[in-house]
Amino acid sequence: MRILLLSAYDAKSHQYWREGLVAQFPNYEWTQLVLPGRYFSWRIRGNSMQWALGERSTLEQPYDLVIATSMVDLASLKGFVANLANIPTILYFHENQFVYPPSQANAKHHLDPKMVSLYAALAADRLVFNSQYNQQSFSTGVEDLLNQLPEKMPVNVVELLGRKSCVLPVPIASLDTTSMTLKNNEPQQTPWPEREDGSPLRLVWAARWEYDKGPQQLQAILQELRKRGVDFQLCVLGQKFRQQPIEFNQIKAEFATNLVQFGYAASRQHYLNWLEGADMILSTALHEFQGLAVLEAVQLGCIPILPNRLVYAEIFGLKYVYESTPEDRQKESIAAVNLIQKLALGQKQGNLAKTVAQSLAWPTMKHKYHQLLNFKVSKAPERITF
């Protein structure tokens, strides 16, 4: 089978999924076109033109299947390159543009990203979402948007999209902690301090250093931990950018004595070692559709401490979530620290969340992806599940 794989905004989570997919199915003939995960507004609107003008010979090859991420302007691309219109197409949603939290940076209402993903969904034969939360929020967003239009659509668009939709999470790599050794050419990095009797609680926070990952919430939780006299060590990981929320500098100064790592890990192996050595993975996200960093940490033994919003309760249930009140950070921080202290006392009872993470690893998920890659297009697709 010849497959064209398109990733128009190849951010780290998109890259993780794309590389994992290709590696799991080496018998298929893959052609990949990717664009860097930067300049979001231009990328989501300009990718079809960029590829149609610069990669036409690649796009005009005879493929059996096209897989595109939801950032791809699929409707325009099929218009630019006519032969793509007749090839079965899967659109994979890592996220959707309808529930992105507001900020000063995007205070102006942007319609383009929403319309691009809606048109792409209409142009695709199958829609695949990485979580039910993603699918439901997309459907609600589309319905709300269409209700604002001056004229009604001739068909029920949400129902039409729902019939060709399914939920299939991004599988996580199976991580073998016994093989986590550093290569000789990798720079050495200070590990977690050696454990002793009464050692501090080891907390890790791993996310992009942007406002939608909740740095204000993180700072409030750390302040509540200190207020209660909880002895903890903190590892802050994640991708940094030239501009980042001021809270990160404040956390660095305010909790300098608690920090054992602050910034991007020296390598993938270092990153996994930090996760494997932690007691708990803390999330404060305001915008998350699956949470790969959390799942990897949990697979390596971390207990998850998660807000009861977004996708987290769907994946882990209620045991590992704290009350979500993002409009009242003090209240939320109290709930988070209550959960930290409660689960810290029960650490020896085992980590049931690890079973959840393992169920989303490639060995379990591969057969579902095999089914997806071999779907048949029908004129009236039925609602699909895995």
CA distance 7 to 168: 17
CA distance 273 to 263: 14
Q: Residue range 305-321: average pLDDT?
A: 97
Q: Contact 283/212 with Cβ under 8 angstroms?
A: no
Question: Taking Cα atoms as reference points, which of 50, 25, 26, 27 lies closest to residue 39?
Answer: 50
- State which H helix or E strand residue 234 sits in: strand 232-237
| Contacts of 151 by beta carbon, 8 Å cutoff, 6+ apart | none
pLDDT of residue 55: 98
pLDDT of residue 92: 98
What interhelical angle do 40-54 and 112-123 show, nearest 10? Answer: 40
Q: Residue range 119-126: average pLDDT?
A: 97
DSSP class of residue 125 equals: S
Q: How confident is the model at residue 305 (pLDDT cuts 50, 70, 90)?
A: very high
* Position with higher pLDDT, 134 vs 348: 134
Tens digit of each residue's pLDDT (9 = 90 or more) over 184-212: 455 545 589 888 888 899 999 999 999 99
pLDDT of residue 178: 42
Least confident of 13-27, 54-68, 235-249, 372-386: 372-386
pLDDT of residue 185: 52
Residue type, 124: A
Tens digit of each residue's pLDDT (9 = 90 or more) over 82-119: 999 999 999 999 999 998 765 544 544 578 899 999 99
Please check the confidence at residue 156 and state whether its pLDDT lies above 90: yes
For the record, the structure tokens of 241 come out as 């950018």
**Cα separations in angstroms, 323 against 326, 339, 369:** 9, 9, 34
Question: Taking Cα atoms as reference points, which of 153, 189, 206, 126 lies closest to residue 381?
Answer: 126
For the record, the structure tokens of 146 come out as 């269409």
Class at the top of the CATH hierarchy for domain 2-171+362-373: alpha beta
End-to-end CA distance of the chain: 22
DSSP class of residue 172 equals: B
pLDDT of residue 103: 52
Quick count: other Cβ atoms within 10 Å of Cβ 214?
27
Question: Taking Cα atoms as reference points, which of 72, 92, 307, 141 lies closest to residue 212?
Answer: 307
Q: Residue range 139-168: average pLDDT?
A: 95
pLDDT of residue 375: 83
pLDDT of residue 241: 81
* Position with higher pLDDT, 105 vs 248: 248
pLDDT of residue 179: 45
For the record, the structure tokens of 83 come out as 């032969």
pLDDT of residue 28: 97
Average pLDDT, rounded, for the chain: 91
Q: What is the CATH architecture assignment of 177-359?
A: 3-Layer(aba) Sandwich (3.40)
Please check the confidence at residue 335 and state whether its pLDDT lies above 70: yes
pLDDT of residue 346: 76
Quick count: other Cβ atoms within 10 Å of Cβ 244?
16
Q: How confident is the model at residue 250 (pLDDT cuts 50, 70, 90)?
A: very high
Least confident of 128-142, 167-181, 344-358: 167-181
- The sheet carrying 280-282 orders its strands as 259-262, 232-237, 201-206, 280-282, 303-307, 321-322
Where in the chain are all domains bearing CATH 3.40.50.2000?
2-171+362-373, 177-359
Q: How confident is the model at residue 30 (pLDDT cuts 50, 70, 90)?
A: very high
